[in-house]
Structures are given as C-alpha cells and as structure tokens.
Amino acid sequence: MQNEEAIWRHVDAKAQPAIELSDQVWGTPELCYAEFRSAATHTEYLKAAGFRVTENLCGIPTAMMGEAGEGGPVIAILGEFDALPGLSNEAGVAEHRPLAADNGNGHACGHNLLGAAALLAATAVKDWLAENGVQGRVRYYGCPAEEGGAAKGFLCRDGAFDDVDIAISWHPSSFSGVNEPLSLANTRIDFTFHGRASHAAAAPHLGRSALDAVELMNVGVNYLREHVPSDSRIHYAYLDAGGVAPNVVQARATVRYLIRAADVRALNALVARVRKVAEGAAMMTETRVDSRVISAVSNLLGNAALERLMQDSLDRLGPPPFDEADRAKAREFQATLSEEDIATAFRRVGLPKTDAPLCDRVVPLDARGVPMIGSTDVGDVSWKVPTVQARGATYAIGTPGHSWQLTAQGKLPAAHKGLVHVAKVMAGTAVDALTRPGVIEAAKAEHAERAGGPYVCPLPADAKPALGMSLAV
C-alpha cells in the first residue's frame, strides 16, 4: 500500500500538464497516420519530462517511444491520439454543434484522454523509479492509427516490443474496471477491378464494367453472410465507383472490405472465401481484380495474472472522485440518449441498472456482461507480450462510442478526473509488477501457455502503413 500511495502522489503532481495535453490534442483532432500535431505535442512532453525519446518509430512518422529508468524489467504503457471523421462537436455542450461545415474530425472515442493518461502514468512511474532507486524501465509508446490503421501491428511486426516484459493500456468508458480481453481479429482489404471503358450507348458491348464487378462482389458477399460463423462480421464501402459519367462504362472501381472474425485463424479462412467471391465477380464481368491489404489486427489475448494485479489497484483506489456538478452535467448528456443506450451500458459490464449518471463503483473482476465486440490493434501487442487494459470512467453512462456526445464530453472536468484516476490505476499496476516477486514471471508463463507459440503478425510481410491514405471508411 505504501508504494501505491507514493505512485498516486506522483500522478497528482504531474496531473495538470497531462490535462492540458488532453485538451490540446482535442483541439487538433487528426485522423490515423496524419496525427502530426498530436504526435509533436506528445514528443515535446516526453522530452521535457526527461525521457529518452525515439521518434519516427519503425519508420512511422507519428509514432514515438520515450524510455526512462535503467536495467530490470521493461514496462510498456500504450497511448493513442487519433480521431474519427465527421464527429467534431463544441466542447461541453449537450447539443449537436459540429465545428465545421463537413462536421470535421473529433475525438469520439476519447483518444485525446487515452494518450494523455497513459503519458501521465508513464511519467509518474519514471519519477517513482528515480526516487526509489528501483531497477526497471518504463516506456511510453505513442501509437497512432488505432482507428483502422493497425499501427501497433506494424510496430510489433517490426520489433518495437521485442524486449518488453509486460504492456499496460486503457480505454475511455462509462465505468471503471479491468477491460475484458474480448475483440475480433480483422483486416481491411481494397479490391480494385480493372475493366475497359467504352461508350455506354453506342458500344456497350465493347466495355467491361469494373463497377458491375464491384456490385456483383457485394451481392456475392451478402449471400456469403448466411454461411459464416455468427461472430464474424463483413463490412464494405465504395472508395471509387468509377466516375460520375453514366454514359461511360466504368473502367476501374475500388471497394474496401473490413472482415472480422473471432481469431486470426478464423479470419484467414473467411478472407480466403471473400477473395474467391472477388475472383468470381471478375470472371463474370471479364475484368481483372487485384487487392491490397491496408491493415490487419489480431484478437485480444487475456492475461489473468495481470488482470488480478490491475483489479487490486482499482479496488484500493476506488471509483473516480466525481462530484455533484459532474453528475449534473452527465445528466444533461444522458437526456440526449435513449433508455436503451443507458441500459446497454450497464449490461455490457454485467451491473444492474441504477440512476447513477456517472460511474460510482469499480466493476468486479468476475462481472460478466453482454459484450459488444469490436477490434483493436492492442490485440497484436497482447500476442507479443503479456498485456492488460483498464476501463476508465470518463463520460456519462450510456454514451455511445463514436458519437458526438462522446466528443463533446472530452474536455469536461469529469473527463479530466477520470483521466487522472485511470493514470493512477496504470501506474499502480506497473509499480506492483516491479515490486511484487514473481508477478511478471507468472504473467509470462501464462502468456506462453495461452499463445501456444511465437507471435505471428497477421499483416503480410510486404504490407506498409497507409501513410497519406484516407482510412475514414
């Protein structure tokens, strides 16, 4: 307990700069692999705090790593700072007020808070190591492009985590607790069909329509949906429909597929079936199809040893210190939601519904809710090294992810309190891992047993980060 109280004091001492960082990043929300201002702000903070900084990590301009400490185990703390398209909103108002005519980009998944809290936790651990003369290293990994870019997968594939012992992260949520390690493996693939242009009225028989091929592929995949595992997901979006002239047979068209499955093995099998549909569409239209893997991520691999360690830290700390002003503001946002939104938030974490507008308890480790499973590139880190994630309560209960309501709450006092609270949880988990005998060894042994072999990255060896490419879809 003495170590935990000491690390909490270090978090409190550096909280204000981290809060300012979260607001600064919020003011310049950028999409994945284009987070240049956000990455520069994080890098500047790391240097000012005394970290040894590696920029352009693994050749990704918006990825960086800051390290502090000497010898001993290496603890990675993961931060993110990318945004989402079309989800900007005026801060603090419970009303849809986009900041741009096209709605603009916004931190509708709370990644401004995510990166700031992770950096705060890493800074506190750095100071604690120096103050106590403890052998060990803490690293802050600034990870761009979680929203569709699979940056952590590229970092894992290219060696950035090769000497890490354990990894710690978190995600904004309605509740505080250990994040259940459930996610879907996924990949994004662009299928481009190449046909032959012709005059659509005078010589339609000479044309070979790439747009027809895309549409036939979509029809085929829609029929495929009936015959895939129930936990699989297939989504698509047109990137290039072949132009705007209906009197020209479209010679080129591109569709992006996002394919999800329970794990990488099931994903690979499903991708093979989708590829066959694409080939069939090309045959039917006498076109040619090629494809490019844009991103791919693994499913999350849990680690009970680290989850128990993080739960200990949560239980000692208790829920975030929200006050009546925070709760009143949260009720304003809840008024923009449906009863189902609010009930679903409680169901997701396995808690009975109450009238509380903000988190007022720590979710027990054995609580089992009804998961709503998405995907994250933290999954790749979890296959590479033992990994644990927290939920951090930063917004009104029931707020949907990827919504203007979440963006609008990103600079509220409640969000700042939740940021500092979860930084204490992560820092406490790191310190406990360094000071409790056998914890890291137990986490590694469990990881080796669950993984069943070395990490195999789902990204092809020749795949590159989609720098300069829109991943908005």
For 345-361, how does the pLDDT look when each residue is reduced to its tens digit (9 = 90+)? 999 999 999 999 999 99
Using CA atoms, how far apart are residues 183 and 153, in angstroms rounded to an integer? 15
Q: Rounded mean pLDDT of the chain?
A: 95
User: 372 or 464: whose pLDDT is higher?
Assistant: 464
| pLDDT of 468 higher than 90 | no
Residue range 153-164: mean pLDDT, rounded: 97
Q: How confident is the model at residue 472 (pLDDT cuts 50, 70, 90)?
A: very low
For residue 26, pLDDT beyond 90: no
Provide the pLDDT for residue 463. 93
Is the pLDDT reported for residue 455 higher than 50? Answer: yes
Q: Give the pair of three-digit tokens for residue 176.
A: 């505080």
Q: Are the C-beta atoms of 250 and 213 separated by less than 8 Å?
A: no
Cβ neighbours of 438 (radius 10 Å): 9
The answer, yes or no, to whether residue 471 has pLDDT greater than 70, is no
- Kindly tell me the burial class for residue 248, based on how many C-beta atoms sit within 10 Å of its own C-beta (0-12, 13-18, 19 or more): middle
For residue 306, the number of C-alpha atoms closer than 13 Å in the C-beta half-sphere is: 33
Instruction: Kindly report which listed range (24-28, 83-87, 298-302, 396-400) carries the lowest average pLDDT score.
Output: 24-28
pLDDT at residue 374, as a whole number: 87
Tracing tokens 């790191």 back to the chain, one arrives at 430
State percent of the chain over pLDDT 90: 94
Domain boundaries along the sequence of the chain: 2-183+300-451, 185-296
Please report which confidence band the pLDDT of residue 373 belongs to, taking 50, 70 and 90 as the band edges: confident
Residue range 10-32: mean pLDDT, rounded: 93
Q: Which CATH class is domain 185-296?
A: alpha beta
**In whole angstroms, what is the distance from residue 454 CA to residue 157 CA?**
12
> Would the CATH topology of 2-183+300-451 be identical to that of 185-296?
no
Q: Which of 91-105, 226-240, 369-383 has the highest mean pLDDT?
A: 226-240
pLDDT above 90 for 166: yes
Q: In 205-338, which residue ranges form alpha helices assigned H by DSSP?
A: 210-224, 264-285, 304-317, 324-334
What average pLDDT score do residues 91-101 get?
A: 93
Cβ-based neighbours of 193, under 8 Å, separated by 6 or more: 210, 211, 213, 214, 217, 252, 253, 254, 281, 282, 285, 287, 288, 289
Collect all residues with Cβ–Cβ distance below 8 Å to 35 and sequence separation of at least 6.
Answer: 62, 81, 82, 83, 144, 145
Kindly report the number of other CB atoms within 10 A of residue 300's CB atom: 25
Classify domain 2-183+300-451 by CATH number: 3.40.630.10
Mean pLDDT of 231-248: 96
| Mean pLDDT for the stretch of residues 186-190 | 96
**473 pLDDT above the threshold of 50:** no
pLDDT, average across residues 254-270: 95
Mean pLDDT of 85-89: 94
Average confidence (pLDDT) over 157-170: 98
Q: What number is the average pLDDT over the span 421-445?
A: 97
Q: What is the pLDDT of residue 460?
A: 92
For residue 267, how many other CB atoms are within 10 A of its CB? 23
Residue 155 and residue 57 in contact, taking contact as beta carbons nearer than 8 Å: yes
* pLDDT tier for residue 369 given thresholds of 50, 70 and 90: confident
Q: Which helix (H) or strand (E) holds 2?
A: helix 2-13
